[in-house]
Chain A
């Protein structure tokens, strides 16, 4: 098991390492002079532009810049943002709890709603219930997240007046979490249904039924338990998508997480902040996928011993 964890951690480190290369190259792929683009909105003289270029190390050869960047990243220094010149890491860490609260609550909603829907659709396969649940799921998959957000905002905040429109308290978290959770729940419902159908068709479930075990016992002890394995395995990817979805949803609800920060950074062409965000995002997603892989291995011994 330790070997398995070590392997997953190593893979995560490779991902993060490639991300550091990617963000260094990013600034070099910008057509034109990145310094001038970044400071387009500021009054700067030629001498100042040169000074900034030197401070950012952009006058050095690329490989040298890369090692300088890597060295600073290893010391926890992601540079300073152009707008407001704040330390990038501090800014990201300050905003991250909001994003984490949003994604984790959305994940819980998604798993509960999507899992239940998919499970019962598979259990009642071929019936009206199945058809209804899957119609709901495909409509959910087809709706843009932000539109669902606007609809919920219109319904709960504007029309019914139950929830606030924007802000940072826990009551303000309900709508964004619900939006992101329901949207992801639709995907999870579809995946759960096909995973459970595969399980229901397997011999051990049929044997359990044939032995005359009570239906609910077979359902919960045999089918659901093995159904959890494929479902947990897809949560890693779903979490990455949730983090991605949060970028848009945070902007709908003016929720001050890292996603909102990232969009502002792209608008302002604040390259140190964009670089920091991408590296941060890649790190979080990589570490979460390690956690999910380990959980997966705990559930399914075949994974642990197979590698």
Chain B
């Protein structure tokens, strides 16, 4: 979670089609969108793109250097690295979506409730969120894995839980701004119910900010999951997960550097794609940033 996301202005609400056009015209947005779309296409068409079965051993000689037959070489079991990288995109997208889904939903609810309630519930809730936030995501994720045990699904859940405080803080900060606007006070005066105020008035105004944060959040989740798998706490053999592939490459670095280069490149490009897309969406939705 590198870039501190600030609440977007209310003017941020523009028609989706205009957003898309503006996104395509901003360089980072267009490049980011292209990378993310490419990733989705690769994941969907993995069986058609991958020349070999990602799990099949001895698809070629062991530790073969990149060649026409094996574009990214082969690993210590003779599996085709290119095919494994292609199939890995499926796991990566799944990790990103599930982890962000968990943290976004829970964080959104926490932030909305705390911000709407105000008073001591807000103080206690947000104080707690701040404290948990200060433990940092990796330590919370480690604690979750200590409870749940290792594995890719558990790693996704752990990363999802670990980022809840981050989303709760952002939602809370946006709610604080929105609560003091005339439209909200008017809705209260009109006698709107609590649920109506939270879900029909506050929620739609929080969404634009959360789209930006969620997009950037996918990159954080992908990095975190790759890190956990690299440590052996996430994906297990023989899953073609990029972080895990890197960990098995470590001891073979000098003999088979391609095992280390390509999965790492795949992670970096994916994360870069989501980072650029998030930056692009922010530029489009936040006029203040655009002026720069």
Q: Which residues of A contact B (CB under 8 A)?
A: 14-15, 18-19, 22, 26, 29-31, 138-139, 141-147, 150-151, 153-154, 158, 187, 190-191, 197, 240-241, 243-245, 247-248, 251-252, 262-263, 265-267, 269, 271, 274, 278, 281-282, 285-286, 289
Q: What string of 1s and 0s marks CB contacts (under 8 Å) between B134-159 and chain A?
A: 11111100110111111000000000
| Chain B residues within 8 Å of A251, by CB | 230-231
Would B143 and A278 count as touching, CB distance under 8 A? yes
Output the nearest chain B residue to A138 by Cβ-Cβ distance.
Answer: B275
Give B145 Cβ to nearest chain A Cβ, in Å: 6
Would A29 and B134 count as touching, CB distance under 8 A? no
Task: Choose among B138, B146, B267, B272 the residue that contacts A139 (Cβ–Cβ < 8 A).
Answer: B272
- Can you list 8 A-B pairs, Cβ within 8 angstroms, ordered by A? A29-B147, A143-B271, A158-B253, A251-B230, A265-B146, A281-B136, A281-B139, A282-B135
Would B143 and A147 count as touching, CB distance under 8 A? no
Would A274 and B146 count as touching, CB distance under 8 A? yes
Name B239-273 residues within 8 Å CB distance of A: 243, 246, 249-250, 253-254, 257, 260-261, 264, 267-269, 271-272
Would A244 and B272 count as touching, CB distance under 8 A? no
| Chain A residues within 8 Å of B131, by CB | 14-15, 18-19
Would B143 and A150 count as touching, CB distance under 8 A? no
Would B230 and A281 count as touching, CB distance under 8 A? no
Task: Choose among B135, B249, B267 the residue that contacts A19 (Cβ–Cβ < 8 A).
Answer: B135
Assuming the contacts A139-B272, A271-B146, asked whether A146 and B134 have C-beta atoms less than 8 A apart, the reply is no
Q: Which residues of B contact A (CB under 8 A)?
A: 2-4, 127-128, 131-132, 134-139, 142-143, 145-150, 219, 223, 226-227, 230-233, 243, 246, 249-250, 253-254, 257, 260-261, 264, 267-269, 271-272, 275-276, 279, 292
Task: Choose among A22, A142, A265 the residue that contacts B272 (Cβ–Cβ < 8 A).
Answer: A142
Output the nearest chain A residue to B250 by Cβ-Cβ distance.
Answer: A150
Would A26 and B146 count as touching, CB distance under 8 A? yes
What does DSSP make chain B's interface, helix, strand, loop or mixed? helix
Output the nearest chain B residue to A131 by Cβ-Cβ distance.
Answer: B27
Question: How far apart sit A258 and B292, CA to CA, in the bound complex (Å)?
Answer: 43
Question: How far apart sit A150 and B263, CA to CA, in the bound complex (Å)?
Answer: 12
Would A240 and B147 count as touching, CB distance under 8 A? no
Question: How far apart sit A125 and B58, CA to CA, in the bound complex (Å)?
Answer: 53
Question: How far apart sit A150 and B230, CA to CA, in the bound complex (Å)?
Answer: 11
| Chain B residues within 8 Å of A266, by CB | 142, 145-146, 150, 233
Question: How far apart sit A240 and B134, CA to CA, in the bound complex (Å)?
Answer: 7
| Chain A residues within 8 Å of B138, by CB | 244-245, 247-248
Question: How far apart sit A187 and B216, CA to CA, in the bound complex (Å)?
Answer: 14
Question: How far apart sit A262 and B230, CA to CA, in the bound complex (Å)?
Answer: 15
| Chain B residues within 8 Å of A262, by CB | 142
Question: How far apart sit A286 and B267, CA to CA, in the bound complex (Å)?
Answer: 32
Assuming the contacts A141-B2, A142-B272, asked whether A289 and B134 have C-beta atoms less than 8 A apart, the reply is yes
Question: How far apart sit A31 and B232, CA to CA, in the bound complex (Å)?
Answer: 21
Task: Choose among B4, B147, B267 the residue that contacts A26 (Cβ–Cβ < 8 A).
Answer: B147
Assuming the contacts A266-B150, A267-B232, asked whether A144 and B134 have C-beta atoms less than 8 A apart, the reply is no
Question: How far apart sit A271 and B223, CA to CA, in the bound complex (Å)?
Answer: 26
Would B227 and A145 count as touching, CB distance under 8 A? yes
| Chain B residues within 8 Å of A29, by CB | 147
Give B247 Cβ to nearest chain A Cβ, in Å: 8
Question: How far apart sit A22 and B147, CA to CA, in the bound complex (Å)?
Answer: 12
Would B134 and A244 count as touching, CB distance under 8 A? no
| Chain B residues within 8 Å of A197, by CB | 292
Give B276 Cβ to nearest chain A Cβ, in Å: 7
Question: How far apart sit A263 and B146, CA to CA, in the bound complex (Å)?
Answer: 10
Would B264 and A144 count as touching, CB distance under 8 A? yes
Question: How far apart sit A236 and B132, CA to CA, in the bound complex (Å)?
Answer: 15
Give A115 Cβ to nearest chain B Cβ, in Å: 15
Output the nearest chain A residue to B226 by Cβ-Cβ distance.
Answer: A144
| Chain B residues within 8 Å of A267, by CB | 150, 232-233
Give A4 Cβ to nearest chain B Cβ, in Å: 18
Task: Choose among B127, B142, B232, B246 the residue that contacts A146 (Cβ–Cβ < 8 A).
Answer: B246
Question: How far apart sit A88 and B2, CA to CA, in the bound complex (Å)?
Answer: 33
Give B88 Cβ to nearest chain A Cβ, in Å: 13
Assuming the contacts A190-B2, A247-B138, A278-B135, asked whether A150 and B146 have C-beta atoms less than 8 A apart, the reply is no
